[in-house]
Amino acid sequence: MELLSTPHSIEVNNITCDSFRISWAMENSDLERVTHYFIDLNKKENKNSNKFKHRDVPTKLVAKAVPLPMTVRGHWFLSPRTEYSVAVQTAVKQSDGEYLVSGWSETVEFCTGDYAKEHLAQLQEKAEQIAGRMLRFSVFYRNHHKEYFQHARTHCGNMLQPYLKDNSGSHGSPTSGMLHGVFFSCNTEFNTGQPPQDSPYGRWRFQIPAQRLFNPSTNLYFADFYCMYTAYHYAILVLAPKGSLGDRFCRDRLPLLDIACNKFLTCSVEDGELVFRHAQDLILEVIYTEPVDLSLGTLGEISGHQLMSLSTADAKKDPSCKTCNISVGR
């Protein structure tokens, strides 16, 4: 039987966090003959990869020939924001069950995308299931070292300036390495209704009345849900003044929450006053997308311990947790 030509001019497009579309060129004489495609997909190794990883794990997809381009989805658990290489081979299945195969095409590299809104909606639904009842609170607070606040006063015009979010949380979060903001906490101790005296981030605490950051002129977005191999879970929320740069970034990427009625963080009017509540059973990390004036709050030293084990700086999400993972990658 005549040999098959080698596929060439590979194109990969329509890339999402868990799928891609692929096409290639082959000789016209092969179009009627080819019965199957072999697609070899490999995650690009980086310098931190496990050097003892099994090299013989099969990564080849065997697919019946269909008109190109073809969409590859669900055949592998593709991970978001991950670099892959792909090559293709065409084949004719013969009467004896063996394949006549072409040579391998050139290798093309591509990177998968972030979670889309529908994936974040799945994470949101999972977070809602364990959020628990709502507790009242009155201040947002930010813990850090004394030098951080001194620098803000001396070099930043007494403002806490937004900075780029790190890679903590879900690997597919569209905010990681993309959204600028200032992190705040709002969780309170059940027995006192006040912020805890311990912190993983430093002994100095800036407190600001909740209405300064969260009010009817603010949009609230759900950004992530994760854990770090622990029993407790974190939810990341974004507060963005309506029409701000941060608001425009979030509008296209994150689920928008009703500020008066959601399972995580609410601002509602009761007896003519704004009342604030947070979910009891989640540790909330709130990103405020604009600079914050230190003169709008108070700064002081806390009396508790610095619990470094609770720090989420560049924290990696537990990929095996059934509570906070969805099936489109980690």
CA distance 307 to 280: 20
pLDDT at 35: 94
pLDDT at 59: 63
Residues of the chain with pLDDT under 50: 47-58, 329-330
CA distance 259 to 266: 5
- Kindly tell me the sign of the dihedral angle through the C-alpha atoms of 9, 13, 16, 19: negative
- Phi and psi torsions of 175, nearest 5°: -85, -25
CATH 3.40.50.300 holds for 8-112 = no
- Phi and psi torsions of 136, nearest 5°: -75, 145
pLDDT at 102: 94
pLDDT at 203: 85
CA distance 57 to 50: 14
pLDDT at 140: 97
Task: Tell me which residue of 200, 267, 199, 273 sits closest to 237, measured CA to CA.
Answer: 267
CA distance 13 to 70: 10
pLDDT at 53: 39
pLDDT at 317: 86
pTM: 0.84
- Phi and psi torsions of 153, nearest 5°: -70, -40
Please state, as a whole number, how many other Cβ atoms lie within 10 Å of the Cβ of residue 168.
20
pLDDT at 193: 80
pLDDT at 198: 80
pLDDT at 219: 98
pLDDT at 305: 62
CA distance 65 to 59: 18
What are the start and end residues of each CATH 2.60.40.10 domain in the chain? 8-112
Structure tokens at 230: 């622990």
